[in-house]
Chains A and B, each alone.
Chain A
Amino acid sequence: MSNAVSALNGATWTQGIATVTEVPLQGMITLRGQLTDAKVQKAATSAASLEMPERGRANCVDDRGICWMSPDELLILCSYDQVSNKLEQMQDTLGNTHSLCVDVSDARALFDVSGAHARDVLAKLVPVDLAPDQFTSGMFRRTRMAQVPAAFWLHDTDRFRIICFRSQAQYVFDLLKTASATGSAVN
């Protein structure tokens, strides 16, 4: 078995106004199908052991989660080692339902931005209102981060999780480092 390595091998940066970490090896499964279908819902909820999120929202606890990506797409988060088991389970649950689920863990990168200035750092990069009363816990937003697509949610108070494509991980890491440079706080 080959040694699985995430895009930046868990790189961390702590020299700025926020801590930027690449979260190594997060299991991710894309599930596409009619989200109102009971079997599709069951496949998602049983794989993550969480409730279905509403439109534009995500339910995430630790390394498990269900993220609403579009009217016909969910992203299931689970631990990296469990992906193949979960996939099998989901395929059993789905049966002949018109749907698709596939392991995308190695196609994406996950970042964690934390600290009192985490909101400011992210707000510099995305065209989204991140005011504390506008972007609240449980929301999930797909948008662009400078020049690349990204999706993020509030994982905890002052802690954002950001998903991007693996090939763009270095770009996103550099971007987050620049946006959290010392002395760049927004007051």
Chain B
Amino acid sequence: MLILTCPYCGQTGEETEFHAGGEAHLKRFGPGSTDSDFEEYLFMRENPKGVHFERWRHVYGCGKWFHAARCTTTLEVFGTYSAQVTEPPKEICDKISEKRPGWSWGAFS
């Protein structure tokens, strides 16, 4: 079971208190974009074995959205961070590098 800590209210809870919101750090391609960019944005998702970045919502708590970095095989959570960023903060990346050297995910590593 996933144990997540909400960065907004500081509460640590198990996954049923939260709601998964899909892949993190998507770049939106809207009207005027090329068909392939739009298709990529709409349908193409990472499906890694290992390090993964996701959006979560503290649905039974403070109601805020946040980001989580976790491992899909061990369910280890490397950290959670603010929703108001477009890429994972350095300290989260450093923490992942410490535990999973050489990791990469989309454009990040």
B8's nearest neighbour on chain A, judged by CB, is A71
Looking at chain B's contact residues, is the secondary structure mostly helix, strand, loop, or mixed?
loop
Whether B8 pairs with A143 at a CB distance below 8 angstroms is: no
Whether B13 pairs with A69 at a CB distance below 8 angstroms is: no
Bound-state CA distance A69–B61 (Å) is 8
Which residues of B (52-83) have their CB < 8 Å from a CB of A? 60-64
Whether A70 pairs with B9 at a CB distance below 8 angstroms is: yes
Whether A142 pairs with B61 at a CB distance below 8 angstroms is: yes
Q: Quick one: which of A56, A71, A73, A143 contacts B60, CB cutoff 8 A?
A: A143
A127-B16, A127-B17 as given contacts; A143 in contact with B10, CB under 8 Å: no
> Could you list 16 A-B pairs, sorted by A, with CB under 8 Å?
A55-B9, A56-B9, A70-B8, A70-B61, A70-B63, A71-B8, A71-B9, A71-B64, A127-B14, A127-B16, A128-B13, A141-B11, A142-B61, A143-B11, A144-B60, A149-B60
A-B residue pairs, 8 tightest by C-beta = A70-B62, A144-B60, A142-B61, A127-B14, A149-B60, A71-B8, A56-B10, A143-B60
